[in-house]
Amino acid sequence: MSDQSGPLGAPVAGAGSTSGPRGSAMLVEQSGLAQRQGQARGLFGGIGSVVRVTHGTISRYFTSVLVAMIVVAVGLTLLQHGFTLMGNQVKNALVLGAIYALVAIGYTMVYGIIELINFAHGDVFTAAGFFAVFLSSTLHLDSLATGSFGGLLLALAIVFPLSMLAAGLTGVLIEFVAYRRLRDSPRLAPLITAIGVSFLIEGILLVLEGPDNVPTSQASWITGTAVKIGGVNILWTDVFVVGMALLLMFALGEFVRRTRLGKAMRSTAQDRTAALLCGININRTISATFFIGSALAAAGAVIYSINYGDLKWNIGFHLGIIAFTAAVLGGIGNIVGAGVGGFIIGVIYVFGGSLFGGEWSEALIFAVLVLILTFRPVGLFGVEVTTRA
């Protein structure tokens, strides 16, 4: 996880633009603008320069500010509620963060390669979760999984690949039907179809599964406490969730870094035209990206259903916005960044909730998104050329 360059990280710069790299880095341009305004008006000029200096300072130390705020939040929780609750919250944050990370990776990969916010991604997550539940009830996996450890492994070995495959194919289908033909249209068009696909999937799930929470039997698959640290029960589920997420992310990193297809993805993200000239099959590479992203979301969904034990037709929507925030936090287009961002967002969500009250959690995440876009639009691990005005 220490690789800072990020497999799809740097390439985002000129992706999709046929006119080569546009030299103007966002931050440079913006300070120039502030300067112009500053010279033009007296009073506003003064305010403008103060704003500029403050803005610049926060931008430069954004990572430190964020880390400091998280440390303060954790510290406050420790002081107010004691070690046990703090420890439990850390555990919850990591579990939630693992799921966010898996979903965020799908967003970041798709954005990295075709510069599209795939709004349907969160709903692919939900659909995959319901598919996994359907699988385990059709194949009677519950009794198998709860019977013995070998049975559990077998059940997992059935559910994970199958639902990942199904979700991956769904992702490929969505790209083929809804996005591929619009790849050269004005930017608005694919965004609108993306939101349309999202609504379509949600609508289908609503009709199939009803408007209420659907309890899933997979919650009983993994039981028992792994370790107990000073009153904090770390369950086997928690270990499983975080371990599985890390394993999948590591596998993905290796895949993108070492295989031919991974290399094709990186070069397509960097410059689609040049990649085409090098003989890379662009369509296949983009399909593969959608497949992998959706498959990871499916893995996240199975983990979610095992850990939390219920699903709802629209959970993917909120989760998608939060995961996208994680992807932006990590630097959009950067896979490692998305992974780390997922965990950070998990921490912010859980501790924000314990400090300000649960109803503020999502508002807080949203505030974080706006703050990132204000002060550090390239994310924590992004390179400064990732965004252009």
Partner 1 sequence: MRDKLASFFRSDPGPGKRADGTTVYWIIASTASALLLMGWLLPWFVNDYSAGAGYSPQDALVSPPTGIGTFLIYILAVTMLVIVLSPLVEAIARSRGRPLGPRADRVRLIAALVGFALTVVVWFLVSIIQEEPLFGPFVSGTYTDSAVWLTMYAYALAALAYGARRWVVGRQTLAFSVAALPFGIFLPLMFHQAPVFLIWAAGSLAIYMLLALGLNVVVGFAGLLDLGYAAFFAIGAYACASFASPVHNIHLPLWVLIFLGAAIASMFGAVLGAPTLRLRGDYLAIVTLGFGEIIPDLATNNALNLTGGANGLSGIDQPHLGPFDFSLSPRWYYWSLLIVVIAVIVLLRNIERSRVGRAWVALREDEVAAAATGINTTTTKLLAFAIGASVSGFAGAFYGSLVTIVSPDDFSFSVSIAVLSIIVLGGIGNITGVILGSFILTFVIFWVLPNMNEWSATLSQTVHVPAIANINLSNYTYIIYGVALIMMMLLRPGGLLPSRARRIELESAVEGESLAAVQGVA
Query: Where on the chain is the footprint of partner 1 (CB under 8 A)?
Result: 18, 22, 26, 30, 33, 111, 115-117, 119, 177-178, 181-193, 195-204, 206-207, 272-273, 276-277, 282-283, 317-318, 321, 324-325, 328, 359-360, 362-363, 365-366, 369-370, 373-374, 377, 387-389
Cβ distance 291 to 169 under 8 Å? yes
Which residue, 53 or 363, has its beta carbon nearer to partner 1?
363
Report the alpha-carbon distance of residue 389 to residue 381 in Å, rounded: 19
Q: Is 248 exposed, middle or buried (0-12, 13-18, 19+ CB in 10 A)?
A: buried
Minimal distance, residue 83 CB to partner 1, in Å: 29
Minimal distance, residue 128 CB to partner 1, in Å: 18
Minimal distance, residue 311 CB to partner 1, in Å: 17
Residues whose CB falls within 8 Å of the CB of residue 359, separated by 6 or more in sequence, listed in order: none
Which residue, 341 or 377, has its beta carbon nearer to partner 1?
377
Minimal distance, residue 196 CB to partner 1, in Å: 3
Residues whose CB falls within 8 Å of the CB of residue 173, separated by 6 or more in sequence, listed in order: none
Task: Label the pairing between strands 225-229 and 214-215.
Answer: unpaired
Minimal distance, residue 385 CB to partner 1, in Å: 13
Cβ distance 338 to 108 under 8 Å? yes
Which residue, 174 or 245, has its beta carbon nearer to partner 1?
174
Report the alpha-carbon distance of residue 133 to residue 205 in Å, rounded: 13
Which residue, 37 or 217, has its beta carbon nearer to partner 1?
37
Which residue, 60 or 318, has its beta carbon nearer to partner 1?
318
**Phi, psi (5° rounding) for residue 225?**
-100, 135
Minimal distance, residue 166 CB to partner 1, in Å: 20
Across the chain, how many H-helices and E-strands are there? 14, 4
Which residue, 145 or 311, has its beta carbon nearer to partner 1?
311
Task: Concatenate the DSSP letters of all residues of 48-113 into one string.
Answer: HHHHHHHHHHHHHTHHHHHHHHHHHHHHHHHHHHHHHHHHHHHHHHHHHHHHHHHHHHHHHHHHHH
Which residue, 172 or 276, has its beta carbon nearer to partner 1?
276
Which residue, 3 or 384, has its beta carbon nearer to partner 1?
384
Which residue, 7 or 320, has its beta carbon nearer to partner 1?
320
Minimal distance, residue 185 CB to partner 1, in Å: 6
SS3 (DSSP) at 388: coil
Which residue, 251 or 363, has its beta carbon nearer to partner 1?
363
Report the alpha-carbon distance of residue 83 to residue 89 in Å, rounded: 10
Minimal distance, residue 134 CB to partner 1, in Å: 19
Minimal distance, residue 291 CB to partner 1, in Å: 18
Report the alpha-carbon distance of residue 223 to residue 214 in Å, rounded: 20
Q: State which H helix or E strand residue 171 sits in.
A: helix 149-174
Task: Concatenate the DSSP letters of all residues of 135-157 into one string.
Answer: HHHHTTHHHHHHH-HHHHHHHHH
Q: How far does Cα 247 stand from its chain's mean position?
A: 16
Residues whose CB falls within 8 Å of the CB of residue 171, separated by 6 or more in sequence, listed in order: 106, 121, 124, 290, 291, 293, 294, 295
Minimal distance, residue 2 CB to partner 1, in Å: 28
